[in-house]
């Protein structure tokens, strides 16, 4: 599969510190903060989304075979929307590791 210039630029931009992965403890803390509804919950939500954007790319490349007429950035955007919805629906009370 040949990737568009936009996709290559997007994946390169995800290497910045802003999109760094979270430890399990940090992820738990952010989920609790997000669920608290405090002023900091918006920042916690944004950090949870940003830290998992690379996961969307990983799953897309690993698990999906896109037809040639589908732009990979469309699939990435749909995956990102799914990530956002998943974070909103996630029940941190059931989260245990």
Q: Are 48 and 30 in contact (CB under 8 A)?
A: yes
Decide: pTM greater than 0.85: yes
**How far is it, in rounded angstroms, from Cα 12 to Cα 73?**
14
For the chain, give the DSSP string. Answer: -PPPHHHHHHHHHTTSGGG----HHHHHHHHHHHHHT-TTHHHHHHHHHHHTHHHHHHHHHHH----TTS-HHHHHHHHHHHHHHHHHH--GGG---
Q: 74-88 pLDDT, tens per residue?
A: 999 999 999 999 999
pLDDT of 26-82, one tens digit each? 999 999 999 998 999 999 999 999 999 999 999 999 999 989 888 999 999 999 999
């Amino acid at each position: 599969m040949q990737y568009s210039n936009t996709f290559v630029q997007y994946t390169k931009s995800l290497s910045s510190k802003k999109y760094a992965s979270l430890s399990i403890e940090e992820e738990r803390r952010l989920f609790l903060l997000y669920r608290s509804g405090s002023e900091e919950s918006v920042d916690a939500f944004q950090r949870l989304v940003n830290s998992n954007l690379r996961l969307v790319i990983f799953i897309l490349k690993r698990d999906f075979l896109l037809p040639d007429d589908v732009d990979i950035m469309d699939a990435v955007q749909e995956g990102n929307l799914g990530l956002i919805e998943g974070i909103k629906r996630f029940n941190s009370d059931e989260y245990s590791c």
